[in-house]
């Protein structure tokens, strides 16, 4: 059940972890370290570009507000629609 809510590790995450571990075996002056660092930068850039942006709180509140307004209007119409429509009908038929 909890598997649904846990973050699954993507192949990109696995490769980033492998590169990080590989970089820890080299010193910062080794040429292999620089190559691994270049790959790490590229993979990190790809990960950032493919990551979805989070929904802004303003957008969430706007949607919630719109839903509340719709529910209020529907609730009002549910109780008062016959009276207001009947009233309009009678006014029109008298003319």
Inter-CA distances, 92 with 77, 84, 87, 88, 89, Å: 20, 12, 9, 6, 5
Burial class (CB in 10 A: 0-12, 13-18, 19+), 36: buried
Q: What is the pTM of this model?
A: 0.47
Residue 67, token pair as written in the block = 């839903």
Within 10 A of 23 (CB to CB), how many other CB atoms are there?
A: 19
Q: Where are the domains of the chain?
A: 9-51, 53-95
Confidence of residue 87 (pLDDT cuts 50, 70, 90): low
Output the average pLDDT for the chain.
Answer: 78
pLDDT digits (tens, 9 = 90+) for 11-35: 888 888 898 888 888 888 888 888 8
Residue 13, token pair as written in the block = 């995450």
Report the largest interatomic distance among the alpha carbons of the chain, rounded to a whole angstrom.
95
pLDDT digits (tens, 9 = 90+) for 42-81: 998 988 887 777 788 888 888 898 888 888 878 877 877 5
Provide the pLDDT for residue 82.
Answer: 52
């Amino acid at each position: 059940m909890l598997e649904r809510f846990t973050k699954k590790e993507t192949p990109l995450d696995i490769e980033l972890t492998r590169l990080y571990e590989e970089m820890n075996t080299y010193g910062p002056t080794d040429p292999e370290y620089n190559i691994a660092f270049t790959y790490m930068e590229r993979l990190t850039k790809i990960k950032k570009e493919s990551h979805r942006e989070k929904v802004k709180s303003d957008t969430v509140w706007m949607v919630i507000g719109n839903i509340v307004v719709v529910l209020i209007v529907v609730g009002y119409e549910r109780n008062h629609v016959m009276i207001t429509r009947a009233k309009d009908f009678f006014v029109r038929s008298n003319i």
